[in-house]
Amino acid sequence: MKMEKKLIYLTTNKHKVEEANEFFSKKYGFNIEIVNPDFEILEIQAKTCAEVAKFSAKYAADKLECAVLKSDTGLYIEALGGLPGPYNAYFDKQIGIEKFLELLKNEKNRKARIEHCFAYCEPNKEPIVFSSGGTGRISFEAKGNCGRWHDKFYIPDGETKTLSELREENHEYESTFWGDAKDQFAKWYKENVTKM
């Protein structure tokens, strides 16, 4: 009997845990072990989520000596020169939603995009990154109770509601606005790793 390879998904976000468990096992039929790391995963200062996820996955895979999956999301606001970018959590912690929206209250250009990345890495190897995302705009006020801070003021193109409000109505529909990075990874993993 073939032993299933162990894959650890490192995250401290409980929403990601629930989603990942459901998504990978139900849709693709493979299991991942979700771990809240007991060590700090170094995150570099970088311009994109892909660079951050890539570095963190390699650092963790080498430290744990097993295959690791790490994800990262970013919000890029045109009027702020691409900020907060991959520094989402930092902006949330330092200034929060109200002060952040206050910064943009007189800004006419509300264009923004979101990015979602997954980085897979095996020990002593180079990481493989899967990226996707979408475009939208920043609302004038926060709406909704689900998700992370930016979900409450980011409205995807073609919609009138925030990601948070859309998630409350249908989380599968809301997840489509993040693109297909999860699917890209899952298909690649099934084809290249689980068949080995």
Which residues are known catalytic residues? 72
Provide the β-strand partners of residue 153: none
Q: Where are the beta strands (DSSP E) in 42-192?
A: 67-77, 84-85, 111-121, 128-138, 154-156
d(CA 175, CA 190): 21
Count CB-CB contacts under 10 A for residue 134.
18
The pair of structure tokens assigned to 132 is 């996707």
d(CA 50, CA 55): 9
